[in-house]
Amino acid sequence: MASIRKLEKHQARTAYLFITPTVLLFTVFTVIPVVMALYLSFTNYDVLSRNDWIGFDNYRRLIEDSLLWKTFRNVFLYSIIFVPLNILISLLLGILLSRSWRGVKLFRTLNYLPTLTSAVAAATVWIWLLHPEFGLVNGLLSYVGITGPAWLSETRTAMLSIIMLTLWQSVGSNMIIYLAGLQGVPDYLYESARLDGANKLDCFRYITWPQLRPTTFLVSTMAIIGALQLFDQAFVLTQGGPANMTKTPVYLIYQQGFNQLQMGYASAQAFVLAVAILIFSLINMRITKAEESIV
């Protein structure tokens, strides 16, 4: 008995040794910052000189900050269009390419390639694709007699451009997730449904869609969290313009915190954004009704 306990003790000591680096890094770069985030949002910390407690001043200030609410409006507008389209397109691609016909693998690969590109490189390419005179998009439109807009500098189309770019970059990997999800749908469900005279649409509505609920939950949650934190593409493609139409909260926090060094105020903004992300994730959880726990 005694020796077994000794062995267990030795095992536990080894285990703690093994996880020490991870726990240490986690403490320094996650736990402390999370606690500090709340603290900083009540200060006027500016890196250089000041770090005083100013109570709720930052929060009072951000209520009146019309630019902040504009960025929130922008990113909500973006999410409302981007997230459903993202799910719809990747689900359709997943269903389309779930057959094991010849050449399907190649199509999967081609649809997946855009997800490999970095946001900066992709946005750089799209600046040129969307060039008003010599870009590919307007060039193709001119074949059918349409004069395309100046995508990136018109207020109506700037956000649309970012939506197109981010969809192009993200549907491929969600397609793979849906493909994996579709593999998990048991065949006998379809077989028995067909015996009962269900058509393809019924099969989708009553079998595929409900069975894919956990997958949809995962995809939509990740899409919402990512969409509300949009930055890279807006920074490179449109620089937040025209007239702040594509400026996002993260963009504003970045400018406020690192260009103007108002880190206390930027922390308060970040906190508000985090709360918004939490609320939307919860709403999404309600909608997709994922009964199973995530972990």
Partner 1 sequence: MDTSGSSLFKRSLSKSIYYIVCIVIAIVMFLPFYWSVLTSLKPDEEIFAMPIRWFPSHLTLEHYRKAFTTAPFALFFWNSLVLAVAGVLANLFFGSISGYAFAKLNFKLNKPIFRVLLAAMMIPGIVTMIPTVYVMRHIPFFGGNDIFGSGGNGLMNSFWGIILPGASGTFAVFFMRQFFLTLPSDMMEMARIEGCGEFKIFWRIYLPLTKPALATLSIFTFQAGWNSFLWPMIVLNDPDKATIQMGLQAFSYNFQTDYGPMMAGALVAILPILVLFLALQRYFVQGIAFSGIKG
218 touches partner 1 by CB under 8 A: yes
Single residue of 42, 78, 82, 178 touching partner 1 by CB under 8 A: 178
Contact 273, 250 (CB under 8 A): yes
For residue 173, give the amino acid letter.
S
Single residue of 5, 48, 55, 103 touching partner 1 by CB under 8 A: 103
Contact 284, 220 (CB under 8 A): yes
224 touches partner 1 by CB under 8 A: no
21 touches partner 1 by CB under 8 A: yes
Question: Which region among 79-87, 131-139, 145-153, 202-210 touches partner 1 (by CB under 8 A)?
Answer: 131-139
Single residue of 68, 93, 152, 159 touching partner 1 by CB under 8 A: 93
CA-angle at 84, arms to 255 and 82, nearest 5°: 30
CA separation for the pair 134, 14 (Å, rounded):
63
230 touches partner 1 by CB under 8 A: no
Smallest gap from residue 56 Cβ to partner 1 (A) = 18
Q: DSSP string of 258-286?
A: IIS--HHHHHHHHHHHHHHHHHHHHHHHH
114 touches partner 1 by CB under 8 A: yes
Residues 73, 76, 81, 83, Cα dihedral to 10°? 160
CA-angle at 262, arms to 258 and 264, nearest 5°: 115
199 touches partner 1 by CB under 8 A: no
- Closest-CA residue to 284 (of 207, 212, 218): 218
- Of the pair 192, 210, the CB lying nearest partner 1 is at 210
CA separation for the pair 127, 142 (Å, rounded):
18
104 touches partner 1 by CB under 8 A: yes
Question: Which region among 80-88, 120-128, 148-156, 197-205 touches partner 1 (by CB under 8 A)?
Answer: 120-128
- Pick out residues in 132-161 that bind partner 1 (CB under 8 A): 133-134, 136, 139-140, 142-143
14 touches partner 1 by CB under 8 A: yes
- Of the pair 142, 192, the CB lying nearest partner 1 is at 142
